[in-house]
Structure 1
Amino acid sequence: MSPATAGLLVVLRRVGIALAFVAVLLRPGVGQTSVSEQLSDLDVLVVVDRTRSMAALDYDGRTPRITGVQADLTALAKALPGARFGLLAFGAETRLVMPFSSDTTAFDAAVETLYLEGPKDGAGSAADRPVPELTAVLERAEDQSPDRRRIVVYAGDGENTTGSDEDPQSFEDLRDLVAGGAVLGYGTSEGGPMPESDDLDGALGYVRDPETAETAISRADLGNLEKIADQLDVPFEHRTAPGGLAPLAKSFAASYSDGQGGHERPAKHDLTWLAALVLLGLVLLELRAGWRAVWTSRDALLPARPKGARR
């Protein structure tokens, strides 16, 4: 084989390795088939307090309360595969951040990017503020999917700082709309300071009490959260550190179907394995050529043997 031909083969082999590697990353497929999905009959509506008090540094030591909420909700979504999750956030107003969806990646992203109200943006904390919108969302879900079971997971600190003399709205009327759920409480009765910056870095200063100009302390009202749990007829759990949500997730007792009743998704016949085989073959040829080059160079560097010398 001429040097030019050998060099061309080396170039073609290395180009082939690059193309096969890209093909493996792209996961090529042809045609179409149906794949059964494991579907849950469960709709989980998560209600999150996003008032500034959720920035208080009294969760798991000196961690913001909202950080604990985010860790728990991500773990809960992972523990309930196939369930649909919705996210309702409340502060000065209540809004549906994410409608019910089985896309847990989107739910995790919505939870991770949930932002708190600024120190001067809110109208005080009110644990009962989401009741009207929560009722509306659950009623719509019942009309649209009457066969699915809905549970509510309320995550907050229970603090009420609006100064209103009106009786708080009750969650009791929601009992007929839900099949269970939980109230998760964050923070302590001793309380903690609230970082003023958006990134919740206490080194940049804390929220101050406008009346005293001293550092404001947010104190969780765990008793208020227990009342909400009683009204919903669901358990209350005081969350002080990450982990330990498996028993709670198991208590929701989701039932699953394995793609029966038309619950299937389209998928292509995966050809990644074929690209991987081509890549393996080309890499082995490259390694073989490399070893041959090494041994050829080694022989060339050895001193010439004198004529008549024995091997």
Structure 2
Amino acid sequence: MITFHPTLPVLVVIVGAIALGLCIWQLVAVRGRRLAWLRRTLLVTLAVAMAFRPALPGGEVPTASIQARVFVMLDTSQSVAAEDWGSEARLAGMQEDVVEIARSFAGADLSVISFDSQAILRVPLTDDGSAVIEMVRALRPEIAQQSRGTSVAVAHDLLKTELERSAADDPASPAIVFYLGDGEHTAEEQPQSFADVGGLVDRGFVLGYGTEQGGRMRISSFNPNEDRYVQDPAGGGDAISRIDQGQLRTIADQLGVSYLQRAPGLPLADALGPMAALEGAADLDRTEQARLEFAWVLGIPIALLLAWEALSLARSLRSTRGILGTDRRAPVGGGTGVRERIR
């Protein structure tokens, strides 16, 4: 069954009703432009539906009363496509562990920061664990053509800002930081130290992914059908990405947390359990329905309709310029005709 969870339901209903009413009125009243107003009516309808955040049932998540601020830092650089998480890419293991983190800290405020060539706040602090799980499952490695080298500390400033801001809003809640990556540093400059952030962190883990043998990296591309591997520009052949545990241990020491190397089939819940018992505990036997939002799907027809609207507007402007240009070139007062009659 589809459920809805609008952020501001009253505002969405009022604005949506006004906009939809205007479109329907114009659709009926303006006979010569019915196609245009039909398009706008559909556009408003889809936008309102998207604002209501439709979702389908997506399994169950445990309920809890944990009071904590949990920050998940997730590497999405090209190297997480390395196929040394069993037969899968490292990112698959990271996604599995984020699901476990969200389950263990259900009820706490969770935030997700991804980092590759740049750091992005994917999810601000929220107690909606299902939204965190859904977003992380949708993450893909950075597009190879856009990569400019990755610093393992590129998210330093963003993490520090979020920790300081959230501490000011909720100083009683402990800050827990999880850093998920392979430690591979490809930027030219040395990585920035997390030492000045360590004082803001109460607990956490640096979780390492990958093997010493390494793995090939399937290219991330705008073309979903592309099936190639990253090539080694120096030696030729497929490039190999390897975990840098020394780098990861350094980050763990700077943050003041422990380092764990991850591997397929190695449970994470045992390590998370004691940490989750800060101000409460997640009861894994009591669950609530998770939501898998699909509002983003509506963005596709909305984008197409907006493109159609923009094209229609451009054509109207060109027609208007053409009419105005013709009027400016026309003789004033029919002077030429008068001279012809005089002759």
Q: TM-score range by the shorter chain?
A: 0.5 to 0.7
Give identity over the alignment, percent: 34
Paired AA for residue 267 in structure 2: G
Residue in structure 2 matched with residue 50 of structure 1 by the alignment = 76
Does the 8 Å CA contact 1:55/1:200 hold for their aligned counterparts? Answer: no
Q: Structure 1 residues 202 and 226 mapped into 2: Cα distance closer, same or farther (>3 Å)?
A: farther
1:156 aligns with 2:181: yes
Superposed, 1:230-309 pairs within 5 Å as 230-252=253-275, 253-256=277-280
Q: Which has the larger radius of gyration?
A: 1
Does the 8 Å CA contact 2:97/2:268 hold for their aligned counterparts? Answer: yes
Does the 8 Å CA contact 2:143/2:222 hold for their aligned counterparts? Answer: no
Q: Which runs of 5+ in 2 are unaligned?
A: 4-62, 283-343
Q: Which runs of 5+ in 1 are unaligned?
A: 1-21, 27-36, 259-311
Q: Structure 1 residues 202 and 76 mapped into 2: Cα distance closer, same or farther (>3 Å)?
A: farther
CA distance in 2, matches of 1:200, 1:128: 29
Give me the CA root mean square deviation. Answer: 2.6
Return the offset for 1:243: 4.5
2:132 to 95, 107, 112: 107
Residue in structure 2 matched with residue 218 of structure 1 by the alignment = 241
Q: Structure 1 residues 38 and 217 mapped into 2: Cα distance closer, same or farther (>3 Å)?
A: closer
Superposed, 1:1-311 pairs within 5 Å as 38-59=64-85, 61-164=86-189, 167-197=190-220, 204-252=227-275, 253-256=277-280
Does the 8 Å CA contact 1:46/1:86 hold for their aligned counterparts? Answer: yes
CA distance in 2, matches of 1:229, 1:200: 37
Greater relative contact order (CA < 8 Å, ≥ 6 in sequence): 1
Does the 8 Å CA contact 1:72/1:242 hold for their aligned counterparts? Answer: no
CA distance in 1, matches of 2:267, 2:191: 31
TM-score normalised over the length of structure 1: 0.66
CA distance in 1, matches of 2:188, 2:199: 31
Q: Structure 1 residues 38 and 79 mapped into 2: Cα distance closer, same or farther (>3 Å)?
A: closer
TM-score normalised over the length of structure 2: 0.60
Quick check: which one's helix share is greater? 2
Deviations along 1:34-58, whole A, 9 cap, x unmatched? xxx8421111100011100000011
Does the 8 Å CA contact 1:186/1:220 hold for their aligned counterparts? Answer: yes
Return the offset for 1:80: 2.1
